[in-house]
Amino acid sequence: MLRISPIESKDRAVILRLEGQVIGPWVDELNRSCEGVLATGARVTLDLSEVWFVDRSGVELVRSLVNRHVALLNCSRFVAEQLKA
């Protein structure tokens, strides 16, 4: 399961606080959430402080989001290792 909580901040920026695992159907849900915010022209930051696992498709999504200038915040060492290219 993955909980996605949007936290709006100043200057057209949105932080999406993620809690749980970025796996299976939750990868698509994260993608939809990010696309919805990016479509408004807002900057997106993913707060990964409460994420403890990311599967292969989740890693691919997060990498593609980073390539689109989505920032990562509070990433654990374990998840950071998973996301390394």
Selection from 39, 35, 34 nearest residue 17 by Cα:
34
Q: Sort residue 11 into left (φ over 0), alpha (ψ -120 to 50) or beta.
A: left
The pTM is what? 0.92
Structure tokens at 15: 């932080």
The residue with tokens 């996301």 is: 83
Range 2-83: architecture per CATH: 2-Layer Sandwich (3.30)
pLDDT per residue of the chain (85 residues) written in tens, 0 to 9: 999 999 977 788 999 999 999 999 999 999 999 999 999 999 999 999 999 999 999 999 999 999 999 999 999 999 999 998 6
Dihedral (C-alpha) 60, 48, 82, 34: value to the nearest 10 degrees? Answer: 0
